[in-house]
A = this chain, B = another copy of it.
Amino acid sequence: VTHKPGSIGVNAAVVLMSIADGRLKILLTSVGEGLWALPHGEPGYGEPLQEAAERIIRERLGIRAEYLEQLYTFGNHIPRNRQRRITVAYYALIPAAALRRELDGGSEAARWFNHDELPKLVDGHAEVVRVARHRLRGKLAYTAVGFELLPEKFSLAELQTIYEVILGKTLDKRNFRRKIRELGIVEELGGEFRSGPRGRAAQLHRFRPEVFQQIEEGLKGDILAF
Contacts and interface: CB of A to CB of B under 8 A. Distances in A.
Interface of A: 3-10, 41-51, 70, 72-73, 75-78, 82, 84, 86, 88, 141, 221-222, 225
A12 to B, nearest CB: 9
Contacts of A225: 221-222
B48 A73 contact: no
B3 A43 contact: yes
Nearest to A76: B48
A42 B72 CA distance: 19
A72 to B, nearest CB: 6
A73 B49 contact: yes
A44 B4 contact: yes
Assembly stoichiometry (copies):
2
Contacts of A47: 3
A48 to B, nearest CB: 4
Contact of A8 (B43, B72, B75, B76): B43
B10 A8 contact: yes
A42 B86 CA distance: 14
A86 B49 contact: yes
Contacts of A70: 72-73
A4 B45 contact: yes
Most buried by B among A8, A41, A70, A76: A8
A5 B222 contact: no
A96 to B, nearest CB: 26
B42 A5 contact: yes
Contacts of A9: 5, 7-8
28 contacts: A3-B41, A3-B42, A3-B44, A3-B47, A5-B9, A6-B42, A6-B45, A7-B8, A7-B9, A7-B10, A8-B8, A8-B43, A10-B75, A10-B86, A43-B75, A45-B84, A46-B78, A46-B82, A49-B75, A49-B86, A51-B76, A70-B73, A73-B88, A75-B88, A141-B221, A221-B222, A222-B222, A222-B225
Contacts of A44: 3-4, 6
